[in-house]
Amino acid sequence: MTIDPLLQLLRRKARHTHKELAEILSLSEEDVRARVAEWERDGTIVGYQAVIDPVRAGDEDVSAFIEVKLTPERGGGFDRLATRIARFDQVTSCYLASGGYDLMVVVEGEDLRDVARFVSEKLSTMDGVLSTATHFRLKAYKENGFLLEEPDEPERLPVSP
């Protein structure tokens, strides 16, 4: 099953007006408005947000990617524990993943110590958490499909015989 073209457009640029979306997709403006309203009601669209370049915005928060190994629970697998982890204010994203760990958790804090406190005092102490490995984000090049810095065009050297 492929994702609805209207949802694809909204994912790439949610600031399109209903009129613009209707023109792009050859739909009526009212049809677009009704479909978007239904998706907002049924939870298909859970929110809208701007993608912000943290360097240009002066955001000095620290982000970390934390691999978490869990003990699955009988009858629930990883869902209950993953949901508890996802509810922490510091957690911006939480994914079930394949590979050597079970969850990939994205965390933000004011500084390295703030993230370290979260891992040592909240995450690692939870029943069912077997281990964690923390990787700090050093620089973002692309965020949710948007390039954050346009790369400098390499200078071409003059060609001479």
Distance CA 148, CA 77 (A): 37
DSSP-assigned beta bridge partners for residue 64 = 107, 136
Are 95 and 146 within 8 A, CB to CB? no
| pLDDT at position 152 | 64
Neighbouring residues of 69: CB distance < 8 A, sequence distance ≥ 6: 100, 101, 102, 129, 130, 131, 132
How many CB atoms within 10 Å of residue 121? 9
| pLDDT at position 151 | 59
The separation between the first and the last C-alpha atoms of the chain, rounded to the nearest angstrom, is: 57
Are 116 and 67 within 8 A, CB to CB? no
Work out the average pLDDT over 88-107: 97
| pTM listed for this prediction | 0.81
| pLDDT at position 145 | 86
pLDDT at 44 over 70: yes
| pLDDT at position 1 | 62
| pLDDT at position 128 | 95
| pLDDT at position 21 | 95
Domains of the chain (ranges; CATH) run: 5-42 (1.10.10), 54-138 (3.30.70.920)
